[in-house]
Amino acid sequence: MIKPDFTQHVPEELGTVHFVGIGGSGMSGIARILLGMGHKVTGSDLRDTDAVATLRELGAEIFIGHDAAHLGNPDTVVVTSALWPTNPEYLLAKERGIPVIHRSQALAYLTSKRRVIAVAGAHGKTTSTGMIITGLLGLGEDPSFVNGGVIASLNASSASGSGDLFVIEADESDGSFLHYDTAIALITNVDADHLDHYGSEAAFEAEFGRFAQGAKEFVAISSDDPGALRVTQLIQDKRIISFGRASGSTVQLIDVDASGARVSFALVYEGATYRTDLNVPGEHNAINAAGAFAVLVGLGYDPAKSLASISEFGGTERRFQLHGEQRGVKVYDDFAHHPTEVSAAIKAARAVVGDGKLITVFQPHLYSRTRIMAKDFAEALSASDEVVVLDIYAAREDPEPGVTGALVSDAFKNQSQVHYVPVWDDVPAVAAQLAGEGDFIMTMGCGDIYRMVPALLEALEN
């Protein structure tokens, strides 16, 4: 992967903008806003996805595949850390002296004149960001936003609003979340990840400390997550709104019932108790809602109205998303790619599937993460009835000798429940044979595993 060059000056006028990897969740959201502002936008991506199709409809010129000929004559080039340093469009732009800025710099450019609500954390960012946006809209506000996933009720991951608030999902994976002029910071949790970049858990937490310290107005932060508690100790002279189950939390979560398709709970704030049901399952979503509530009441909105508005949230793309049903088997997809996320997603799915079986089709993401966390993945995945493990989605890393999906499958204590299937085309038939009426199949991972859903539905039909 390329290392972001944050010393690159961002032009006062971006002009025509070319995105290398325009179909990514963050990149496509920024491109959408720039199109709405009247910029000419071009780009390239490896696949012709729904996000690419939407941007084309809005006027973007997009090429499939990366080639120097696709660069054209832009005034500014936007890249992500996931690019290889040998990318031909990136290299040609550098050679021609075209300003090449990181995705986070482009987002900072868009947010520069707004009050920024930046949502960071190892897990729950996209959902929490979506809940804040939904809450603000329900309260009559018109925020701008860029989220890491499509918000189901809005069918969009970004928008340019008329209000002064700009809500963003802030990516901690490469330290770029430090480059926003943040007014309000929400930290969902600080569960160690991206150690390929940070090197140690202490360095990871220190970066979150710097992120929190940069918030001008206040910090909303988990009172339950051990990493978040350590980060809280690093925050000085800031207004802090804590949220979680812990007694003494500014916003305390109580009475959680995550046994069905809708999680119910109550929040205690300033001596009053507020109850609700969400339209999404899982205890983790009650925690996400508590964080979003902390942000809204911290901004001064009415607590009861804030929670009622948050409760209208209907989910985001690739978070326990139902794609279809064949032969009485429902097929879901989920973005979970860290053991903590995997555990939460499976727990929520089990509450919904009832007496049926849960078959999880898991695609590990990154060689380094798989090597470091193989045993943790196996433990989390074992809460499923059956697990199909694919090979690793490499993303921004070179292969590591001996590191494959087999590291995860070999770490299962019960080998009868796991099936290592390294050949992509073999997976749908294996998963379909494991499933019967009333069961769920759930694809899981942040690579391209979602692309298998149509083949799974076809295999079930056949």
Q: Where in the sequence numbering do the catalytic residues fall?
A: 125-126, 169
Q: For residues 124 and 189, give the distance between their C-alpha atoms in angstroms, rounded to a whole number.
A: 8
What would you report as the CA-atom Rg of the chain, rounded to the nearest whole angstrom? Answer: 22
Q: For residues 121 and 228, give the distance between their C-alpha atoms in angstroms, rounded to a whole number.
A: 9
Distance of CA 326 to the CA centre of its chain: 28
Distance of CA 307 to the CA centre of its chain: 22
Pick from 91, 109, 84, 17: which is nearest to 55 by CA?
17
CB-based contacts of 112, cutoff 8 Å, min separation 6: 181
The dihedral sign for the CA sequence 449, 454, 457, 459: negative
The dihedral sign for the CA sequence 125, 253, 297, 319: positive
Reported residue count of the chain is 462
Output the CA torsion 234→126→345→321 (10° steps): 180
Q: Which amino acid is at 19?
A: F
Contact indicator for 88, 67 with CB cutoff of 8 Å: yes
CA 176 to each of CA 106, 211, 289: distance values in angstroms, whole numbers, following the listed order? 11, 10, 25
Structure tokens at 272: 């009053």
Pick from 235, 255, 252: which is nearest to 187 by CA?
235
Q: For residues 394 and 80, give the distance between their C-alpha atoms in angstroms, rounded to a whole number.
A: 16
